[in-house]
């Protein structure tokens, strides 16, 4: 019998690019994702990129798994942060209030869902490839 290849799920990394998660790597990787949600709640979304950036700076040379989790979370946050700024610019112009509100809502929902999925995957030793991110850190 021939084996069927497994289908890649949404957000999974391609087979060759997935770093191995050691037993001590899962918690910091999950914290890299969850810190965005915590910062988002404390700063109304404006500082959600700080937690992943700090985790990346601490673990960039220690653990490839945590580095990738923190970099992905940071990159995802920067993209959504820019979307929020554009949304606020539309709101300030008054004529673009409907567009601005939609952009802010999309940014808010994507941050919550994306980071929850990222946190759960990191606790299981899996990575996530965020759908909307600007690749700044790697």
Query: pTM of the predicted model, to two decimals?
Result: 0.79
Cα 32 to Cα 26: distance, rounded to the nearest angstrom: 10
Each residue's pLDDT, cut to its tens digit, for the chain (138 residues) gives 444 444 344 444 444 456 666 778 889 999 999 998 888 888 776 788 888 999 999 988 888 899 999 999 999 988 888 998 999 999 999 889 999 999 999 999 998 999 999 999 999 988 888 877 778 888
Instruction: Give the model's pLDDT for residue 119.
Output: 92
Measure CA 31 to chain center: 11
Instruction: Give the model's pLDDT for residue 2.
Output: 45
Instruction: Give the model's pLDDT for residue 45.
Output: 66
Place of tokens 């869902």: 113
Instruction: Give the model's pLDDT for residue 31.
Output: 92
Stated as kind and residue range, the H or E segment containing 108 is helix 97-123
């Amino acid at each position: 019998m021939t084996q069927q290849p497994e289908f890649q799920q949404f957000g999974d990394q391609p087979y060759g690019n997935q770093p191995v998660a050691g037993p001590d790597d899962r918690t910091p990787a999950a914290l890299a994702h969850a810190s965005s949600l915590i910062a988002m709640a404390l700063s109304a979304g404006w500082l959600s990129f700080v937690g992943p950036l700090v985790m990346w700076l601490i673990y960039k040379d220690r653990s490839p798994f945590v580095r990738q989790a923190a970099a992905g979370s940071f990159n995802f946050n920067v993209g959504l942060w820019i979307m929020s700024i554009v949304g606020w610019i539309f709101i300030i112009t008054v004529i673009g209030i409907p567009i601005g509100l939609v952009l802010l809502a999309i940014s808010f929902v994507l941050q919550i869902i994306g980071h929850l999925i990222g946190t759960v995957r990191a606790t299981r030793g899996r990575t996530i490839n965020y759908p909307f991110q600007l690749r700044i850190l790697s």
